[in-house]
Amino acid sequence: MSLVVVGSVAYDGVETPHGKIARMLGGAATYISLAASYFTEARLVGIVGDDFAREDEDLLASRGIDLDGLERVPGKTFFWAGKYTDDMNDRVTLTTDLNVFADFHPKLPESYRSSPYLLLGNIQPALQRDVRAQMNGLRFAGGDTMNFWIKDFREELLATIREWDFLLINDSEARMLSGQQNLRKAAAAILDMGPHTVVIKRGEFGAMLFRRDSYFIVPGYLLEDVFDPTGAGDCFAGGFSGYLAEQGFDLEGDHISRGALSRAVIYGSVMGSFCCERFGVERFRTLTRSDIDARFDEFRKFTSF
Amino acid sequence: MSLVVVGSVAYDGVETPHGKIARMLGGAATYISLAASYFTEARLVGIVGDDFAREDEDLLASRGIDLDGLERVPGKTFFWAGKYTDDMNDRVTLTTDLNVFADFHPKLPESYRSSPYLLLGNIQPALQRDVRAQMNGLRFAGGDTMNFWIKDFREELLATIREWDFLLINDSEARMLSGQQNLRKAAAAILDMGPHTVVIKRGEFGAMLFRRDSYFIVPGYLLEDVFDPTGAGDCFAGGFSGYLAEQGFDLEGDHISRGALSRAVIYGSVMGSFCCERFGVERFRTLTRSDIDARFDEFRKFTSF
């Protein structure tokens, strides 16, 4: 079943110990849609300027991503540049030019509104909330956020995630949102804020999924070379929600098993790991579903006892 | 089958965000033996001064630990004091008084020499090597080391671990020993140094076991409160080697299955997690084998998919 994906479509400049790319396709909605496209029909909602290249649009279209919701306006596409530390666990933002993204007010095409699945990439919480309100017949909705909204837009963020089925968040942001240093306590506090499912991403250390009555933890995949971690968290989100949309699960109530959610976390981890193997979205030019399923099996092999 | 454990027996002063204890039983051999004692007969080799308290000896004896190899000499027992950071991931050493430990030259009682299992806690590599040479009929031997020996006693350390079946090491030390930042590459480099099994401990993030043809990763157990992480790595070592000794596995060649090694890593993780639940060795006063097996089952539950 189709998944609506909302977020930034951008150009990124990235420097890692493996090299430097001055300008390449990026953005949360780009990564989420690409990852989700291996599982389900992704319907992208975003905004780009008139500098957005045909070849980048073609890459998205080649993965069957619905681009009816990709608004094109005069001006420049959002540009972000950053540099990673030697161990790749930290990055410094060098440039953030919002450009046309500054006036992003997502309007869903009529054809998107009845999609049962919604993944809201990291944008202003009020916009996330507004998108959700445009949809009817949602079976599950959730998304991502970041430190900036947690710190300076807390009430707006709380009102937004109160309506979500699931929240994807990284470990330091889970601590910031909950005020709890311990991740088990942090997750419990976030479950009290509305979502019945919380996924905490830990970068190279993997991910954890919490519901009221159970939790699941997976270690990160051990890549021999991490070329570029940009987008890995968004690819996790795309794999996680894409898999659930593919299966047609209903996340509300008890209609989804812990097993299915755990497999969704594994597919998220698989997509995040592939993302890091090349710069930017490069890996998605050659990646196949059978590569993905092979790595899923590898996760089972190195974690089972 | 019996396991010989060599290392420090000490008094520790520890401060964590949960409190401060000025002096309590500690030391690597203490923690290793206590953890291993739930699985097999641990035979301790260590040295203490004439201040070593009867009640501390009684605790070890109550767990069935063989103390024939615990040497008592005039003077003071090794004393270490440290303070943990708020997130418990780092600690600062405040005091290291080697005292009688400075002249520790482990001599194995005749009754220990035919034990098939040997775990060498973190002491000077030449002493570790000397202990191994005192034993006959070993089925598996290995141990721990630390940054100090890696940095300043590298050749001595390499000659020592060349004879080991397994090395237990934490992530930053694995990187230092191998010169590789990536842990998969670090493990491969260490496997070239002699041991056929390498276990990399990652603190709260769990542990990884590498052999030439396979690897296994487990996330850390999510405690709600970490009171005191002192000794957790040693308890891991005790659980890991204690379980293998209990099963009577032969680690040389292909006589041990990946499944058994993985279960040993889980038992190590279980023992490390219990250790953190109270200050020092307190948790071992009440811990039972059925508590341990229940947590083992919990690991299976939160990691399987």
pLDDT digits (tens, 9 = 90+) for A22-39: 999 999 999 999 999 999
Q: Does residue A262 sit at the B interface (CB-CB below 8 Å)?
A: yes
CB contact under 8 A, B217 and A262: no
Banded model confidence at residue A257, pLDDT cuts 50, 70, 90: confident
What value of ipTM does the predicted structure carry? Answer: 0.92
Give the residue-averaged pLDDT of A130-157: 95
> Residue A216 is inside which H or E element, if any?
strand A214-218
Give the N- to C-terminal CA distance of chain A in Å, as an integer.
Answer: 34
Strand order in the sheet with A91-97: A19-26, A10-16, A78-84, A91-97
3-state secondary structure of A44: strand
- This prediction has a pTM of 0.94
Q: Phi and psi (nearest 5°) for A163? A: -90, 0
Residue of B181, B215, B219 lying closest to A217 (CB–CB): B219
Residue of B217, B259, B305 lying closest to A263 (CB–CB): B305
Write out chain B residues lying below 8 Å of A247, CB-based.
none
Distances (CA, A) of B236 to B34, B90, B261, B264: 11, 18, 13, 9
- Over chain B (305 residues), the average pLDDT of each successive run of 10 is 97 94 98 98 98 98 98 98 87 95 96 97 96 94 95 97 97 97 96 97 96 96 93 98 89 71 97 97 98 98 96
3-state secondary structure of B9: coil
Write out chain B residues lying below 8 Å of A214, CB-based.
301-302
Distances (CA, A) of B71 to B7, B33, B49, B54: 12, 15, 8, 14
Q: What is the pLDDT of residue A194?
A: 96
- Taking residue A259's Cβ as centre, other Cβ atoms within 10 Å add up to 11
Paired with A197 in beta bridges are: A166
Whose tokens are 């998220």? That residue is: A268
Q: Count interface pairs A-B at CB distance under 8 A.
A: 85
Residue B73, both tokens:
């000499």
Banded model confidence at residue A86, pLDDT cuts 50, 70, 90: confident
Write out chain A residues lying below 8 Å of B183, CB-based.
222
Residue of B86, B223, B262 lying closest to A305 (CB–CB): B262
CB A112 within 8 A of CB A43: yes
- pLDDT > 70? residue A253: no
Q: What is the mean pLDDT of chain A?
A: 95
- B residues 110-149 closer than 8 Å to A (CB): none
Banded model confidence at residue A251, pLDDT cuts 50, 70, 90: low
Residue A180, both tokens:
């709890």
CB contact under 8 A, A224 and B263: no
Alpha-carbon torsion A88, A93, A95, A99, what sign?
Answer: positive
pLDDT in tens, A91-129: 999 999 999 999 999 999 999 999 999 999 999 999 999
CB contact under 8 A, B303 and A185: no
Report how far residue A223's alpha carbon sits from residue A144's, in angstroms, rounded to the nearest whole number: 25
Give the N- to C-terminal CA distance of chain B in Å, as an integer.
Answer: 34
User: B272 CA to chain A: closest CA distance, Å?
Assistant: 17
CB contact under 8 A, A224 and B262: no
User: B182 CA to chain A: closest CA distance, Å?
Assistant: 6
Residue of B184, B206, B304 lying closest to A304 (CB–CB): B304
Query: What is the percentage of chain A residues whose pLDDT exceeds 70?
Result: 98
**Region for A284 from its dihedrals, namely left if φ exceeds 0, alpha if ψ lies in -120 to 50, beta otherwise:** alpha
Residue of A87, A219, A266 lying closest to B206 (CB–CB): A219
B20-50 as b/e, with b when 16 or more CB fall inside 10 Å?
ebeebbbbbbbbbbbbbbbbbbbbbbbbbbe
CB contact under 8 A, A304 and B262: yes
3-state secondary structure of B22: strand
Q: Provide CB contacts within 8 A for A288, sequence distance 6+.
A: none
Whose tokens are 């229940």? That residue is: B294
